[in-house]
Amino acid sequence: MDVIAADGPKGSLELSDNGLLHLRWLPGVNIEVDDARVAMAKVNELCQQEQHPMLVDMEAVGSVSRQARAVWSIPCSASRIALLGTSPVDRVLANFFLGVHVPPCPTRFFTSRSQALDWLSTGD
């Protein structure tokens, strides 16, 4: 898989040759507004005006601040976003993201990677 990668101190971003963006947050990180802004800037940078589906690996993320969540209300190059987590904590974090802020593109929380990838690829 050819990837274009952009790594940061709290996570990494890849755009694979099949057009999927994959944002991975490192386990235990507390995501602040600046982290979110950096991540979004990297998304836009990698996509170069094109829209791509994005898988966000948020398993084991420590916390996401309110302002960081608000960053993801701004439209970016992601055409749809699948939030992937496993624990009840991930589910709570993801649903606060979905419930309190209105995402600019279709966004859903998944506990199954394959279901998340299916949803991203089919658009259903």
Partner 1 sequence: MISENSGEDPRLRQLVDGIVRLAAGDLSTRMTPSENRDDIDAVIAGVNLLAEELEHIYSDLEQRVADRTAMLRRTQAELEQMAKTDALTGLANRILLNERIQEALQNSTASGKAPAVLVLDLDSFKAINDTLGHGAGDAVLVEVATRLLSAVRATDTVARLGGDEFAVVITESTQNEILQIAHRASEKLQDSLRIGSETVWAMASIGVCISAPGDSAESLMRDADIAMYQAKGQGRNNVQLFHPDMLLAVQERSRITAELRNAVSGGELALQYQPVVELASGRVTGLEALLRWHHPARGLIMPDSFIRIAEESGLILELGRWVLHEGVAQLRRWNETAPNLTDFCLHINLSAAELFRSDLLADIRETLDRNHVAPQRLVLEITETVLMSRGTTEEQVLGGLRDLGVGLQIDDFGTGYSSISYLRSLPADTVKVDQSLIQDIGSDPQQQKFVAAILQLISAAGLKAIVEGIETAEQAEQLQAMGCLYGQGYYYGRPQPPEQVLDRLESLAQRRYS
- Positions that interact with partner 1 (CB under 8 A): 60, 63, 65-66, 87-93, 96, 100
List beta partners, residue 21.
Answer: 15, 54
- Residue closer to partner 1 by CB (options 63, 121) is 63
Three-class secondary structure of residue 25 per DSSP: strand
- Residue closer to partner 1 by CB (options 15, 94) is 94
Q: Minimum distance from CB of 122 to partner 1 (Å)?
A: 29
- Residue closer to partner 1 by CB (options 5, 92) is 92
